[in-house]
């Protein structure tokens, strides 16, 4: 038997209900904030990602699904959306049409990671990007949108970690100090961190290795290197978050795994997830437009892992009980009324209800069982006696009440 690819998942009818629930909440959250949807192709020219996410990041270095197409061009299945979205904004001149763009997206993304709970090779992200404002109000707005969605899903227990990476200049100075410190403590670092130290030293800060953590605990903190501009921006974001009642924790070790960030970075964590405890993250990326060949445009945004949101909701029992699969189930016990059953189903569908017929030519008893299994609100029985007088038997499945209704009456009857 041919199996699906490792790290991918089929979404079966039983679980699609959960996806629709989350997707509905996402749509109503983004509408409240005036964000508009943007869709881009699943694959891009490889440089869209290598130039933006950073050559020395795990994503670009070892996780991208990159292939050469038949025309000899290097293409990559998108590992994230921000770079692709910025490419699309520049290419279509959207930033010229409006000084502020509020965009959101939902789709599948691909990273060659080691699959485990909450970590897949194909996964889904919902994200929002606020483009055009350098001001801390926009950092706050995207965090508010994320928090609004999280609340509307019923997730109460979560942690918002916040940090700043300052300007490029701040980061350069900090990087030098950090490397000098790490050099001195080389002997106590893991092999992975030693490799990172040379190429992407800030990533040593969020190593999960016990040895590294001991070294990192006394490492210089970026917060001590901030210039006035960076400090003011960070303080304003914190102040606005307090103003709108969003709790946060300043986490000076938070650096994120993508290189395009400056100033604010943040991550949402849930203990319901286990090792992969981050279910969303984002930050400001004021340099990305230029990196991708555009004019400088400030921007900030975030993305959330949809599988991780669903895992959290499942483990906290936040999905509503199974709802009715159909409003009406129409039973015809006798072959001569199969056509009538199809017709009656169409009458109630015409009124906006959902309706199903048996299709399997089963016995009256089995069809009744099926109606129960479908959790139908009403069962319509096309019994011989009723049919002869142009009527049906209508059963309200929650009260058990039955009544005979003329077929024509179904067009106007109140349900």
Contacts to ligand HAM by CB under 6 A: 80-82, 111, 113, 118-120, 123, 125, 127, 129, 257-258, 278-283, 285, 301-305, 307-308
Which SS3 state, helix, strand or coil, does residue 163 take? strand
Residues 6+ apart with CB under 8 A from 104: 26, 30, 35, 36, 37, 38, 126, 127, 128, 129
User: Whole-number minimum distance, CB 291 to ligand HAM, in Å?
Assistant: 14
User: Whole-number minimum distance, CB 177 to ligand HAM, in Å?
Assistant: 26
User: Whole-number minimum distance, CB 61 to ligand HAM, in Å?
Assistant: 14
Nearer to ligand HAM, 255 or 331 (CB): 255
Nearer to ligand HAM, 125 or 357 (CB): 125
| Buried/exposed code over 266-293 (b: 16+ C-beta within 10 A; e: otherwise) | bbbbbebbeebbbbbbbbbbbbbbebbe
Please state the φ and ψ torsions of residue 350, each to the nearest 5 degrees. -60, -25
User: Whole-number minimum distance, CB 208 to ligand HAM, in Å?
Assistant: 15
User: Whole-number minimum distance, CB 258 to ligand HAM, in Å?
Assistant: 6
**What's the CA gap between 238 and 253, in Å, rounded?**
17
- Among the listed residues 167, 181, 125, 183, the one whose alpha carbon sits nearest the alpha carbon of residue 301: 125
Which SS3 state, helix, strand or coil, does residue 322 take? coil
Which residue number is nearest to ligand HAM in terms of Cβ? 305
User: Whole-number minimum distance, CB 131 to ligand HAM, in Å?
Assistant: 10
Nearer to ligand HAM, 283 or 383 (CB): 283
**What secondary structure, in 3-state letters, does 63-82 show?**
HCEEEECCCCCEEEECCCCH
Nearer to ligand HAM, 86 or 219 (CB): 86
Nearer to ligand HAM, 78 or 395 (CB): 78
Nearer to ligand HAM, 45 or 186 (CB): 45
User: Whole-number minimum distance, CB 267 to ligand HAM, in Å?
Assistant: 7
CA distance between the termini of the chain: 47
User: Whole-number minimum distance, CB 140 to ligand HAM, in Å?
Assistant: 15
**What's the CA gap between 19 and 178, in Å, rounded?**
43
Nearer to ligand HAM, 193 or 278 (CB): 278
| Buried/exposed code over 228-248 (b: 16+ C-beta within 10 A; e: otherwise) | eebeebbebbbebbeeeebeb
- Among the listed residues 17, 295, 47, 280, the one whose alpha carbon sits nearest the alpha carbon of residue 149: 280
Nearer to ligand HAM, 298 or 301 (CB): 301
Which SS3 state, helix, strand or coil, does residue 89 take? helix
């Amino acid at each position: 038997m041919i199996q699906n690819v490792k790290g991918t998942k089929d979404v079966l009818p039983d679980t699609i209900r959960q996806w629709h629930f989350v997707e509905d909440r996402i749509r109503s959250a983004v509408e409240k904030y005036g964000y508009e949807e943007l869709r881009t192709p699943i694959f891009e020219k490889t440089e869209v990602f290598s130039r933006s996410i950073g050559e020395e990041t795990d994503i670009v270095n070892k996780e991208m699904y990159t292939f050469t197409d038949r025309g000899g061009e290097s293409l990559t299945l998108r590992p994230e959306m921000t770079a692709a979205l910025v490419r699309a904004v520049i290419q279509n001149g959207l930033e010229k049409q409006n000084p502020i763009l509020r965009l959101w997206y939902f789709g599948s993304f691909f990273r060659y990671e080691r699959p485990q709970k909450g970590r897949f090779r194909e996964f889904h992200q919902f994200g929002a990007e606020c483009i055009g404002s350098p001001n801390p109000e926009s950092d706050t707005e995207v965090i508010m949108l994320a928090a609004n969605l999280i609340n509307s899903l019923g997730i109460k227990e979560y942690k918002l970690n916040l940090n700043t990476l300052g300007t490029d200049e701040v980061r350069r100075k900090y990087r030098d100090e950090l490397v000098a410190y790490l050099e001195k403590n080389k002997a106590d670092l893991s092999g992975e961190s030693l490799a990172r130290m040379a190429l992407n030293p800030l990533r040593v800060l969020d190593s999960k290795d016990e040895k590294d953590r001991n070294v990192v605990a006394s490492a210089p903190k970026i917060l001590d290197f901030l210039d006035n501009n960076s400090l003011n921006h960070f303080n304003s974001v914190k102040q606005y978050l307090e103003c709108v009642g969003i709790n946060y924790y300043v986490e000076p070790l938070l650096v994120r795994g993508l290189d395009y960030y400056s100033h604010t970075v943040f991550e949402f964590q849930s203990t319901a997830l286990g090792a992969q405890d981050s279910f969303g993250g984002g930050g400001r990326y004021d340099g990305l437009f230029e990196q991708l060949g555009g004019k400088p445009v400030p921007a900030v945004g975030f993305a959330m892992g949809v599988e991780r949101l669903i895992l959290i909701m499942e483990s906290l029992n936040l999905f509503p009980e199974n709802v009715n699969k159909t409003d009406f189930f129409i039973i015809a016990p006798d072959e001569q009324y199969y056509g009538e059953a199809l017709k009656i189903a169409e009458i109630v569908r015409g009124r906006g209800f959902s309706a199903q017929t048996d299709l399997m030519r089963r016995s009256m008893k089995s069809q009744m069982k099926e109606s129960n299994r479908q959790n139908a609100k009403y069962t319509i029985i096309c019994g011989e006696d009723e049919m002869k007088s142009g009527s049906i038997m209508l059963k309200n499945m929650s009260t058990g009440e039955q009544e005979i209704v003329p077929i024509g009456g179904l067009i106007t009857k109140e349900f």
